[in-house]
Structure 1
Amino acid sequence: MHAAELYDYAVVRVVPRVEREEFINAGVILSCQRSGFLRAAVELDVARLRALDPHADVETVRRHLGAIVAICDGAPDAGPIARLARRARFHWLTARRSAIIQTSPVHTGLCLDGDEALQRVMDRMVRALPALRASA
């Protein structure tokens, strides 16, 4: 059986009007340094984005979110940052910035599988909560 690995993650936020500091969670970047795992998952809820800013440029936001995924994957067409070592890419992507796309502070956890941890954090931090059912 595998030992649990330490992982770091940051939530990707879309801040359509930076001056208002309102945001929606749109993805997660997760890194397990020991296994060399680095992946990002993104799911943009356009209705929630439009609730914060009806004039948000959705296609630009999608393009920037896609760039995060491509950089994590080390895609050849993702520019020079994608050619850095995995850990350097993680730190570059999670650096504090004042822009439409931001990340949360970095958090840690333990996992046996990076992909499962990524989906678990996506469920907890990005995806819509299931509706509460009325008690009978």
Structure 2
Amino acid sequence: MHGAESRDDPQPAGTHHYDYAVVRVVPRVEREEFVNVGVILSCESSRYLEARIELDEGRVLALAPDLDLDSLRRHLDTLPAICHGGAQAGPIGLLPLRARFHWLTARRSSIIQTSPVHTGKCGDMPAIMEHLLQRMVRTPT
């Protein structure tokens, strides 16, 4: 359902190339430990950009018991707002869709980071978002 694929591969009707990155919380950057907390999914051809965050506070606090969760939540909440776009998301929210994706996935050394960008093909962006959250973010039951 996802994975690296050549952009030259023929596409069945209704299939789109997409890019995604996993959102990570890195409470102590120097230790390089992280918890996956969300996904940013972009599909330029279908004008789709979405970030979904599912913060597992217990997993994050296991790495950093003194972490300010309220501040972390506020910062994570900006990601879906930037994806949605508009003036309420600040200057970045006014950029074109693809520029917002690149800004969100740019390398940084802060507590909120993203994985490298991965690609795939799919016809149903909400379904692939759910698949990625299940596979990359949620704790297996």
Would you say 1:51 and 2:62 are equivalent positions?
yes
Aligned equivalents of 1:4 and 1:53: distance in 2? 41
> Gaps (5+ residues) in structure 2?
1-11
2:83 to 59, 69, 72: 72
Structural RMSD (CA):
1.1
Runs of at least 5 residues in structure 1 that lack an aligned partner in the other structure: 131-136
Match of 1:113 in 2: 124
For 2:133, give the aligned amino acid: M
Shift of 1:75: 4.2
Report how many residues are paired.
130
| Equivalent-residue separation in structure 2 for 1:67 and 1:3 (angstroms) | 31
Q: Distance in 2 between matches of 1:2 and 1:40?
A: 26
1:94 aligns with 2:105: yes
* Alpha-carbon distance in structure 2 between the residues aligned to 1:75 and 1:116: 25
Q: What SS is found at the alignment partner of 1:31? A: strand
Taking every aligned residue pair, what percent have the same amino acid on both sides?
A: 58
Deviation, structure 1 residue 2: 4.1
Query: What do the CA deviations read for 1:12-33 (whole angstroms, capped 9, x no partner)?
Result: 0000111111000000000001
Secondary structure at the counterpart of residue 66 of structure 2: coil
Distance in 1 between the 2:23 and 2:60 partners?
13
- Cα distance, 1:77 vs structure 2: 1.5
CA displacement at 1:116 relative to structure 2: 1.0
